[in-house]
Structure 1
Amino acid sequence: MSFSLHLSAVLWTLSVTTAHWCYQAQYSCNQTCRAPGDWFTIFPKCGGNRQSPINIVTNKVQHDPNLTALSFLGYHDAHNITVENVGHSAHFSLPPSLRIRGGNLMDTYKAVQFHLHWGYDASPGSEHTLDGERLPMELHVVHIKERYNSLEEAENDTSGIALLAFFFQESSEDNVHFSVLVDALGRVRNVGDSYTIRGLRFGEIIPGPHELHGYYRYAGSMTTPGCDQAVVWTIFQTTIPVSRRQLASVSRQLVFHSGKPMSEIFRPVQRLNGRTVYWSAASSVLPSRAAVWLCALGVLGRHWHTR
């Protein structure tokens, strides 16, 4: 091997071992970070065949009568919640007393944290898509099986993590409960910043249990490196209302390590690779995209009428 080729190989190896991952919006020619298409080069599991997020094709989902309503335990209790800017997102800690069971989950799962995925200045920013359409924002609530002591331990189990996903839908008014999170994000602008929300009732952020019978279920992965294929995904059809002003505010609050605004923090959709997406609704008639949106808008209207 010539010296120049040897040097190139060494430099390439060094770049791989020292590079860190980033979202596509962060990537530029003078960056050493790995954009989503290259995550697998430093995190091999990101190239697996059971990756997330995915595009949900609503006329191809399979109805599963075993997907009954989930039980939410402790979700309306008040807790002090700490949020931290972790460099690629903001993580809100959750106490393990928040648990979920039922819905054909094979275990009881305890909460670890929740976080958001968003776009740029109120542009679409969800990770999962519906019939190819990206929604305004997506909330992920991470749970692990009760017997595990950490997320890292649960990642070694193919169903060790239960991840709940909620889409947001733009509304004409601010969501008063979501405003608490917007305010908290404004207090953790830089990487490593943290802030404690006092007396948060997380159940007030998401739709009520009676609105959560309709959901999609599939086997997938974490959507950030190392992309461990250990997730049972539950993606609810009922959306969370949020105003355009709030959406824009979220995308302007935080910055990445580089100081660049933290926006467009979502991974592109991944190949389904033969997996089946299941649907829970009691009706035997599968939903079209139009029916999903009509349902969401109807629930949204009732949601605001009762507040």
Structure 2
Amino acid sequence: MKSILVLSVILGQFLLSGAAGVWNYTDQAAWSSMPGSQCSGSNQSPINFPPMVEMVYSENLKAFTFTGYDQLVTSPTIVNNGHSVTVTFTNDARVSGGDLGSTFKAAQFHFHWGNDNTRGSEHTYNGMTYPAELHVVHYNTKYADISEAVSKPDGLAVLGFFIEVGPIHNCNFGPVIDALKNVPDKGNTSSLTPFKLRHMLPMQLRDYYRYMGSLTTPPCSETVKWTVFRDRLYMSEEQLQEFRKIYFDLSKSKVMVDNWRPPQPRNGRKVYISFDVNANSSPVHLVNLSLAIFIFCVQWLAM
């Protein structure tokens, strides 16, 4: 059974990484001509989020329920797929609530980052970019696996998180950062120290934005219910630099940077928000950033 689960994860990753053909981030205009591509569709991702006051408040966007996120992941594997670094696992971590309409199982997470800290995120907020972005990819449990779900209109739910530069190391990303040196080239795979998915996420997950979109890589399937959270994640400058030391290829001629797709037209799509901006429902965070990250790491490591 374990081998079947691993095979399913690998196959899903193959599909999500654009198995329809060879592609790169340099010539994104060519994505639309790939077999089976939806990259020129009208519901593409990422997007630029408008100011919160221009989003549509929805009372249906309740809190999420995370199941299995507080358990150590099993068989964690990191792979350099030539487009990003992706972490897969075989344990049963699920998310529901939040008006997702179903229960979704976590299959993998991956990162997008820039050549420097002025760019790197795929989504933007009111024109502002961030140095990196984390995507946690889930598939609808009504389908057998992610390879089946990826083509279904209600198949995928992705949780997105902006990543900013913090003044100290974020220990919660330690297992991933430490493993990057083992996957410098395309095709490299390595195990990594087990961790808890919940530890990688912000403490506050109640405030978020929602819209319907697509995969941000070929074939750009328009099957994704996107949730991007208001609270950001942090890495130190040194941690971000570790991502910029790996390569797109085998010959170490192309450093893996700027692996992001720019915002796509919204084409009239509404962006919903889980809290009422006018009611000032979300508290202002006044804790010093360094202290907050320190407390966060100590808290999680103690659990």
Q: Is this a same-fold pair by TM over 0.5?
A: yes
User: Is 1:38 aligned to residue 30 of structure 2?
Assistant: yes
Give 3-state SS (helix, strand or coil) of 1:133's partner: coil
Cα displacement (A) at 1:253: 2.8
The structure whose residues are more often strand, as a share, is: 1
User: Is 1:21 aligned to residue 11 of structure 2?
Assistant: no
Is the CA contact (8 Å cut-off) linking 1:122 and 1:251 kept in structure 2?
no
* Matched AA of 1:228: S
Query: For 1:252 and 1:296, how far apart are their aligned partners in 2?
Result: 34
Larger Rg: 1
TM-score computed with the length of structure 1 as normaliser:
0.83
**Structure 1 segments unaligned to the other structure (5+ residues):** 1-17, 25-34
Aligned to 2:301: none
Residues matched between the structures, number: 274
Give 3-state SS (helix, strand or coil) of 1:149's partner: coil
Provide, for residues 91-137 of structure 1, a one-character-per-residue CA deviation record: whole Å limited to 9, x for no partner: 10033510000001110000111000000144420000000111111
Provide, for residues 131-170 of structure 1, a one-character-per-residue CA deviation record: whole Å limited to 9, x for no partner: 0111111000000011222323112221210000011121
TM-score computed with the length of structure 2 as normaliser:
0.84
Cα displacement (A) at 1:256: 2.9
Aligned to 1:279: 273
Is the CA contact (8 Å cut-off) linking 1:241 and 1:300 kept in structure 2?
no
Change (3 A) 1:218 1:64: same
Provide, for residues 252-280 of structure 1, a one-character-per-residue CA deviation record: whole Å limited to 9, x for no partner: 23333563111100001100001000000
Considering only aligned residues, what root-mean-square deviation do their CA atoms show, in Å? 2.3
Change (3 A) 1:271 1:257: farther
Aligned to 2:258: 264
Give 3-state SS (helix, strand or coil) of 1:204's partner: helix
User: Is 1:302 aligned to residue 296 of structure 2?
Assistant: no
Aligned to 1:118: 113
Provide, for residues 259-304 of structure 1, a one-character-per-residue CA deviation record: whole Å limited to 9, x for no partner: 31111000011000010000002554489xxx99x65977775343
User: Is 1:78 aligned to residue 80 of structure 2?
Assistant: no
Change (3 A) 1:271 1:192: same
Is the CA contact (8 Å cut-off) linking 2:214 and 2:222 kept in structure 1?
yes
Instruction: Return the match for 2:130 from 131, 135, 143.
Output: 135
Cα displacement (A) at 1:72: 1.0
**Structure 2 segments unaligned to the other structure (5+ residues):** 1-19, 299-303
Query: For 2:30 and 2:169, how far apart are their aligned partners in 1?
Result: 38
- Percent identical residues: 34
Aligned to 1:215: 208
Instruction: Return the match for 1:235 from 220, 228, 244.
Output: 228
Is the CA contact (8 Å cut-off) linking 1:174 and 1:242 kept in structure 2?
yes
